[in-house]
A and B are shown apart, each in its own frame.
Chain A
Amino acid sequence: MKCADRSLLVDLALDDELDMAGLAEFERHLQSCPDCAVAYARKKALKDALCAQLPRHRASSALVQRICEARKRFANEAAPTIARQEAPLSIRNGDALRSGAPSQAGGRLRMAISGVGGALAAGLIAALLMHETPEKSMVQAIVESHVGALLSGRLLDVASGDPETIRPWLTGRSDVTPPVRNLAGSGFDLVGARLEYIANRRAAALVYRHHEHVLTLYVFSTPNAPVSSSEAVLQQGYAVCHWSRRGVTRWIVSDLDPRELEEFEELIAD
């Protein structure tokens, strides 16, 4: 008797995923079906042998120490005033954690943005305490991505104001190749693009400058999203809005005035 249809059960049993009743039934079956019993025994032996020698990597003690020290610094700095803490997003690549003391340039940068970072951190904590809707956490993720890119200097993967340079670069790298326009004539200079990974989705991020403000336009492929659009909302001093059309969802974020952000939205949406 061939029991190919039972092989899923064998895996479920080995993975401890059968409930009591399922397991009892499976065991009864094993008693009457040598094929399955042998298969089960072999699979189990192989699984045990495999598991016994799977590579288990351990964090080096130096790494653990660095993390513990960073943890102490974080706890101490967070203690008196959460708003004055080091901007957490400025150390995206771990350099500040690794070096022990922040580099001079890093220190200056952090001083310059400590207000922003502090407000952001406080906002993050507030957001965590509140009941978070998917929409809210997306707004949060968008702001975090934008600010993180600004603070870490990883704003652009490709620096160009030329749509003819950016579009081919995005093709194949992102899920969607949006129309790219330089809106310099309307005061919004295209400065480049990067790829982002937000809430488990890839996004093409187009970066614009409007006077002293930086805007990021995120474009996601969302084939099933209904047509929708949102008013600009303010989150930790950043205006965020989004809209979905024809299987594409766009988010914009900036420290611009929400009204100006909506102007930009209209230019893009045209």
Chain B
Amino acid sequence: MDPEAKRSFEKIVLPHLDAAYNLARHLTSNPDDAADVLQEACFRAFRFFGGFRGGNARAWLLTIVHNTAYSWMARHRRMALHGSIKDAEIERPLEAFYAVPWERLPDDPETNLLLAESEEALAKIIDRLSPEYREVFVLREIEEFSYAQIAEVASVPIGTVMSRLARARRQVQKQWRRQAGPEGGAR
């Protein structure tokens, strides 16, 4: 490997290790598994770096993390990954998510204060989402990826990104209001 490529890998890819770990951690829900996934993903990234043609390095690395995490989970957990969301739900037209009336959102300052103290509770709520939902949620809300970028990382159509995101948000908000107690939830 020529020194140029070596340097640019260090410069281009390594800054995104935290984002990569964060995604691995959210996908696997476990720090040890996330460390394994990240190391394996990085090794793939070393190998594939020659194929990186510029563009968003974070999205490139996270795509590798996504693929590695799914293979890893299929290998180690024998888990019905795609079985965890019924196809009908994925295929449900997006409008279905929005056809219901507005979610009533907590809007009094007290509730927000309460929410601000429940970081741990929020982590638990996120953990309760299925990995597919958690992934789009994390990519959107933490990494601030566009729908198109998320679609690429998760290799699903944009419509699926939008419906997963809508469902994930709905679930998180519902749980969060429940946590916030009747004052926050009753309005």
Contacts and interface: CB of A to CB of B under 8 A. Distances in A.
Interface of A: 2, 4-5, 7-8, 11, 15-17, 39, 42-43, 45-47, 49-60, 63-64, 66-68, 70-71, 74-75, 78-79, 82, 88, 91-94, 97-98, 121, 124-125, 128-129, 154, 157, 172-173, 175, 195-198, 200, 202
Contacts of A52: 116
A121 B141 CA distance: 36
B54 to A, nearest CB: 14
Main secondary structure of the interface of A (DSSP, over half): helix
Contacts of A121: 47
B119 interface: yes
Contacts of B46: 70-71, 74-75, 78, 88
Given A11-B166, A56-B22, A121-B47, A67 B78 contact: no
A202 B82 contact: yes
Interface-central residue, A16, A79, A195, A198, by most chain B CB under 10 Å: A195
A49 B112 contact: yes
Contact of A46 (B105, B119, B123, B126): B105
B141 A51 contact: yes
Interface residues of B, number: 69
A46 B48 contact: no
Main secondary structure of the interface of B (DSSP, over half): helix
Nearest to A36: B102
B40 A59 contact: no
Contact of A59 (B17, B43, B78, B126): B17
Contacts of B2: 79
B88 interface: no
Nearest to A39: B102
A171 B106 CA distance: 45
